[in-house]
Chain A
Amino acid sequence: MSNVIQLLERLGEEANLSEHTLENLQKQMANLELSELTQEAILQGDPQALESLLGLSPNLCNIVHQDDDEESDDNEEDTSDNNEQASSQQAIAM
């Protein structure tokens, strides 16, 4: 597993993936003794397949920004004190 992460990191660091010849990538993967299926997923550029081969659970959510939908729905039920807090938090968020 750690081998795969190291390979992914190295590929990210490289100047340009297209400079990375197929042969070179295959050699690196063979050196790391990655399974054939793992090598296939990497060659196909298929993160989902790679994720399931490694038994990793995908992210449920990649959103870390508070949109105003939730904020204003909350505000409607809030006391004015909380309202002030919500709007100052939103000011911080923006």
Chain B
Amino acid sequence: MNKKGSLTCVGTGITLGAHLTPNARNHITQADIVFSAMNSSFGRLWLTEMNSNVHDLQQYYQKGKPRSETYQKMVAVMLDAVRDGNKVVGAFYGHPGIFATPPHTAIAIAKQEGYLAQMLPGISADDCLLADCGIDPGKNGCASFEANQFIRYHRPIDNSAYLILWQVGILGDSGHQFSTSEPYKQLLVEVLHQNYPLHHEIILYEAPTLAIESPRITPITLAEFAQTPTSQITTMLIPPCTQMQKNAGIQAKLAQLDRIYRHK
């Protein structure tokens, strides 16, 4: 038997009013308490129109404070409310499980402790990117990485596929200022240059947070990246620069199999 409290983490999407699923909206309106990590002050107010008991998780951020501490606090306050027997909703912008640590951690702990806990998907930044930039990840393949992790580790890159890099606007943010600067961005250029020419065209993308804005799609060359302004919500899209290489051995085997099985 599950204990009385519950935790549901929902995604509110990127653009206010445009992306919230009916299911997520119902969870928000019916919750005893909603914890919010929205992408704008308008989003926070919007939630308070759906539920009068909204607790804003933004307050735990502080310049100079490691985000790991902020996330631990976010998890702790959500779990405390669950343990008090409340129907708790964590409302996170975008998809609550895509590049979002606290919902995953809180749900795992709540389940371990015997509470009902679940995640409901939302429309994520990359959903908007694919739609606005007209890209089907099925065409060439598409890989996603967090930009800091991408430069700190050796990651094999397939430059015949699309590459999406998240959080390029906080590259190397060791001082916890939630921003980046030119020398850190130049390191990303250096890493990417191992697989892409400097004149390769890349895209910096920002989906609208409000419907009164338009998507910002900024094509630049890789060489220009360090000097181009970025923000916390910038996502980098790198189109392929080479053709897919045929796997001749497997293609020959496939042809052989076809000859055997197609005529049966």
Contacts and interface: CB of A to CB of B under 8 A. Distances in A.
Interface residues of B, number: 52
Interface in A1-60: 1-2, 4-6, 8-14, 17, 42-43, 45-47, 50-51, 54, 56-60
A12 B16 contact: yes
Q: Which has the most chain B C-beta neighbours within 10 Å: A14, A59, A73? A: A59
A81 interface: no
A64 B58 contact: no
A40 B212 CA distance: 11
B232 to A, nearest CB: 5
A61 B178 contact: yes
A85 to B, nearest CB: 11
- Interface SS, B side: loop
Interface string A81-94: 00000000100110
A14 to B, nearest CB: 7
Contact of A47 (B66, B71, B152, B209): B209
B58 A9 contact: no
B75 to A, nearest CB: 9
B245 interface: no
A5 B42 CA distance: 7
Nearest to A94: B104
A47 B211 CA distance: 10
Given A67-B148, A68-B152, A12 B99 contact: no
A80 interface: no
A76 interface: no
A23 B66 CA distance: 48
B71 A56 contact: no
A66 interface: yes
A77 interface: no
B167 interface: yes
A9 B232 CA distance: 23
A8 B152 contact: no
A62 B67 CA distance: 11
Nearest to B149: A68
Contacts of A74: 66, 68
A61 B46 contact: no
B167 A70 contact: no
A51 B108 CA distance: 36
Given A5-B45, A43-B212, 15 more contacts: A14-B211, A51-B42, A57-B41, A58-B41, A59-B38, A60-B62, A62-B233, A64-B71, A65-B101, A66-B68, A67-B167, A71-B68, A72-B152, A92-B108, A93-B101
**Which 10 A-B pairs rank lowest in CB-CB distance, beginning with the nearest?**
A12-B17, A9-B17, A56-B41, A12-B18, A11-B211, A65-B99, A67-B148, A66-B101, A61-B61, A93-B101
